[in-house]
Each structure stands twice: as C-alpha cells, then as structure tokens.
Amino acid sequence: MVRTCAAPGCRTGYPLKKVQVETELQNSSQTASTSDNVIFYIGGYMVNKIQKRSKCMTCIDSVKGGLESLPKDFAAQDLTELKSKGYLKFASLNLFMLLKVVEKEIQKKIYIGQIFRPNSFTDIITSLVEHQLPQISCQDHMQVFMTNIIMDFMYTRMKCIAKEKRLKITEDKRVKEKSTRKEKKL
C-alpha cells in the first residue's frame, strides 16, 4: 500500500516520497529552476540510452558526467541527486547545455502555439542550426551522434507535452460534461 501525503490541506494524493523530494528541492538554498532540474534528469536518461546504443567510448565519455565534474555553483543536479539510490546517471555539462538549448526552442514553439503543427519537429531543428551548440562526441561521429541526441530528447519532450495536453483536454471535457449533466437536472 502506498501512503499518500497527510499534510494539512494537501489534496494531491502524491506518494509520500514524491512530496518529500519536492519539499527538499524547495528548501535547497542553491536550487536551480525546475526546468533545469528536469532537463538534467532527462539528460541522465539520455546517457543511459546512449550507453546502450553507442560503441565508441569517446562518445559515451563525452555525455557521462559525475558530481565531481560539475562546477561548484551548479545546482541543476538536485533532483537527480535526491531521486538517485546510486543507479541514476549524471549528464555532462555539455550535454546539459545542449539539451537546455533544445528545450528553449521547444518552449518557444509552445509559447506561440505551434508545437502540434505537422512541421514543428523540423522547425525546431532548423532553428537549432542558428545556435552555437556545445560539442559532444568524437569528431568521427559528431554529426550523427548529436542529431540522435537532439531527436531523442525532442521525442521524449514531445511525448510529455502531448500527454499533458491530452490530460488537460480530458479534464476540460469531463468538467464540461459534468456541468451539462448538472444543468439537465435543474
């Protein structure tokens, strides 16, 4: 049985561990923005994915990081540290910076309402060409390797965004149906 949060006024129903992680993140004095923490966490997932697919050790080492390789004032690893029980991977600083640039482009598309257009994937890739992206991998595999990382990250983020949108539409539909039923009763 999963225990849920028993804090006064809390109606989230989140498992207790999730609430504790959020509270610890909020109380951290050097906490980075939530999006930075999430991007770094997804970066660890990307490292895991890359390790399974790539055979080049130089490419793998360029995306793998550790706490000792991060700058002292870097705080985006907080979420990964709190959730890790020793098995989560840490992204390198260059991978984090690359994913952050891609995330900014995705957020621009969301802001102007064009994220669900058929050509949004290619629009984001085209706009990334204008940026000076951090170099990841060895010279032999750079183009293919970086393209795969960007596409995998965009795919992961698009799935999250689509799920959020679907949940919002479902909730709006449910509320509308409920109000319609209520009106019919009157």
In sequence order, what are the beta bridge partners of 4?
15
Taking the whole predicted model, whether its pTM rises above 0.95 is answered as no
Instruction: Please identify which residue in the block is written with the tokens 């999730």.
Output: 18
Widest pairwise Cα distance in the chain: 71
CA–CA dist 176, 134 (Å, integer): 47
In sequence order, what are the beta bridge partners of 15?
4
Question: Virtual CA dihedral for 172, 178, 180, 183, nearest 10 degrees?
Answer: -140
pLDDT at 176: 94
Structure tokens belonging to residue 146: 């970086």
Spell 11-44 as b/e; 16+ CB within 10 A means b: eeebeeeebebbeebeeeeebbeeebbbbbbbbb
pLDDT at 177: 94
pLDDT at 28: 42
pLDDT along the chain (186 residues), means of 10: 43 40 40 72 86 88 77 65 70 87 86 76 83 84 88 88 90 94 85
| 3-class secondary-structure state, position 91 | strand
Report yes or no: 48 and 154 within 8 Å, Cβ to Cβ.
no
Q: Which of 70, 117, 106 is nearest to 90 (CA)?
A: 70
CA–CA dist 33, 172 (Å, integer): 29
pLDDT at 174: 95
